[in-house]
Structure 1
Amino acid sequence: MSWKVYLSGEIHTDWREQIIAGAEELKLDIEFYSANTDHESSDAAGDHLRSNDVPFWRDHQSSKVNAIRTKNLIKQCDIGVVRFGDKYRQWNAAFDAGMLAALDKPFITLHDEGIIHPLKEVDAAAMAWAETPQQIVEILRYVTNN
């Protein structure tokens, strides 16, 4: 069985690449998907629809276009991994975790110990909480090979 894993959340570090490389090294049968991680093009996703001088409306328009991708990929995934970094508030990651939970999709959270308290409800819905990308790879190894 080929597994589909959706990688959600923080875009400022290489955690996605570490997970993908670890899965490839173990030859896991996994296809990885994620939202657009290029900040500039994500922010501009709806610019072709209408010019907006007000930042709120530009963000609103682009977030809806981006949601076409994320909603579909989350619905198609077998497992979600939701990364919360400590530098930025990732409201989109929390929303993705909520979607995964609402769709009864198993997901794993990935974050440092320092933000356990604000994520307690999200972690309660997750199947596991990991602190490193390598721990995610080990979970994926176990789940996909056993």
Structure 2
Amino acid sequence: MLKVYLSGEIHTDWRDQIVEGSKGLDVVFSGPVTDHAASDDCGVAILGEEPNKYWHDHKGAMVNAIRTRKGITEADVVVVRFGEQYKQWNAAFDAGYAAALGKSLIILQRPEHDHALKEVDAAALAVAREPAQVVDLLRYVLTGTLPG
């Protein structure tokens, strides 16, 4: 079984596309909490309120890091998606963490981000443009089958 951690942008359905396209493959997916409000507020919801927004966010980041570290550490492959709308600094951090652990890293990004992400791309084993390409990569890794 291939364990795949899906990191990055949470505003589109790219994860659903990969999961759906991978049906029938021996793969299990994990990832961060994609409910933005829950992710932002998990620290204070669990550990207590913070009047200062910095500490509010800091608590949430630390609690989320427990899940992220576990997911990336246990993964065979880490897919990191960089979307168009927001700068995903956390996604870049996840990519670096995965690379430092020697994980097989697939980056999913649009061509207009190539220059800004050149160092991240250099650490990856593949740079895909569409979720379907990630599915094709996973299928090839598991079965040796090419698309088409």
Q: Do the two structures share a fold, i.e. TM-score over 0.5?
A: yes
Aligned twin of 1:99: 97
Number of corresponding residues: 143
Q: Deviations over 1:71-121 (max 9, x none)?
A: 011000000000000110101100000010000001100010011011000
Distance of 1:60 and 1:118 partners within structure 2: 26
Aligned twin of 2:35: 38
Distance of 1:73 and 1:15 partners within structure 2: 18
1:144 positional shift: 1.0
1:4 positional shift: 0.2
Aligned twin of 1:9: 8
Distance of 1:49 and 1:139 partners within structure 2: 40
Aligned twin of 2:18: 19
1:50 positional shift: 2.6
Aligned twin of 2:50: 52
| 2:25 alignment partner, one of 25, 28, 33 | 28
SS in 2 for 1:44: helix
Distance of 2:90 and 2:143 partners within structure 1: 31
TM-score of the two chains, using structure 2 as the length reference: 0.95
Q: Which amino acid in structure 1 is aligned with residue 97 of structure 2?
A: M
Distance of 1:140 and 1:57 partners within structure 2: 39
Extract unaligned runs of 5+ from structure 1. none
Q: Which amino acid in structure 1 is aligned with residue 38 of structure 2?
A: S
1:54 positional shift: 1.5
TM-score of the two chains, using structure 1 as the length reference: 0.96
Extract unaligned runs of 5+ from structure 2. none
SS in 2 for 1:7: strand
Aligned twin of 1:89: 87
Q: Deviations over 1:35-68 (max 9, x none)?
A: 1111011111111313112211100001100111
Counterpart check, 1:130 vs 2:128: yes
| 1:143 alignment partner, one of 109, 129, 141 | 141
SS in 1 for 2:43: coil
State the 4+ residue runs in structure 1 displaced beyond 6 angstroms. none
